[in-house]
């Protein structure tokens, strides 16, 4: 019986440690430059990215052209993706800054509302993306971290999870035109 418990603990320990080691948005409060999503995304921005499977292998590469429009507290992002296999996709985000400084957003392929928090140079987004794969769709939990490097450059890392298990990661490099 004890051997079975030790095996179970050995199998679960890496997941438990990973859960305890998660980032906290407050850790970035003093990081500069200060990130303002409306300021950064106003106008034209381009991004280049990859999707990596759990084993680290690159499954897809893509380029995104983003046109951002600011109206008061609202930010609209029209994202046009082009993947390395020629597939194209469009996502239009409707984002709004809240009184408490957080952001809420919706898009056609996002289930419910995306919630974003900003601290220092960092934006942390959480949302559920409805991802089409072959003849079906999957609800993927997105844990999205954006780090402003300077007024024209940003890096983004996203963990994609299904049933609480990471299935892959997205890495993006943004550059303002």
The pLDDT value recorded for residue 165 is 95
Q: Where do the domains of the chain lie, and which CATH numbers do they carry?
A: 2-176 (2.40.128.20)
31 close to 120: Cβ distance less than 8 angstroms = yes
Does residue 1 carry a pLDDT above 60?
no
The pLDDT tens digits of the residues spanning 72-111 come to: 999 999 999 999 999 999 999 999 999 999 999 999 999 9
The H-or-E segment that residue 58 falls in is strand 58-71
Average pLDDT rounded to a whole number, residues 160-164? 95
Residue 3: pLDDT band (50, 70, 90) is low
Average pLDDT rounded to a whole number, residues 22-28? 92
Please write down the long-range contacts of 154-163, taking CB distance under 8 Å and 24 or more positions apart: 154/35, 154/40, 156/47, 156/49, 160/129, 162/138
DSSP state of 56: S
Distance CA 169, CA 124 (A): 15
Q: Which of 14, 15, 62 is nearest to 158 (CA)?
A: 62
Q: Of the given ranges (18-27, 50-59, 106-115, 137-146), which has the lowest mean pLDDT?
A: 18-27
The pLDDT tens digits of the residues spanning 103-153 come to: 999 999 999 999 999 999 999 999 999 998 889 999 999 999 999 999 999
> The whole model's pTM is what?
0.86
């Amino acid at each position: 019986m004890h051997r079975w418990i030790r095996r179970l603990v050995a199998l679960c320990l890496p997941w438990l440690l990973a859960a305890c080691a998660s980032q906290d948005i407050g850790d970035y409060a003093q990081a500069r430059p200060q990130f303002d999503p409306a300021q950064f995304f106003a106008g034209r921005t381009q991004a280049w990215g990859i999707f990596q499977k759990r084993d680290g292998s690159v499954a897809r590469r893509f380029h995104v052209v983003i046109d951002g429009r600011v109206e008061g507290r609202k930010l609209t992002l029209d994202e046009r993706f082009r993947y390395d296999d020629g597939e194209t996709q469009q996502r239009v985000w409707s984002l709004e800054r809240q009184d408490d400084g957080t952001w809420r957003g919706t898009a056609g392929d996002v289930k419910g509302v995306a919630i974003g928090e900003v601290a220092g140079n960092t934006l942390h987004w959480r949302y559920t993306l409805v991802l089409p794969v072959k003849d079906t769709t999957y609800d993927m939990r997105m844990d999205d971290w954006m780090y402003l490097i300077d007024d024209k450059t940003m890096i983004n890392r996203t963990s994609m999870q299904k049933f609480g298990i990471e299935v892959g990661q997205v890495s993006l490099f943004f550059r303002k035109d």
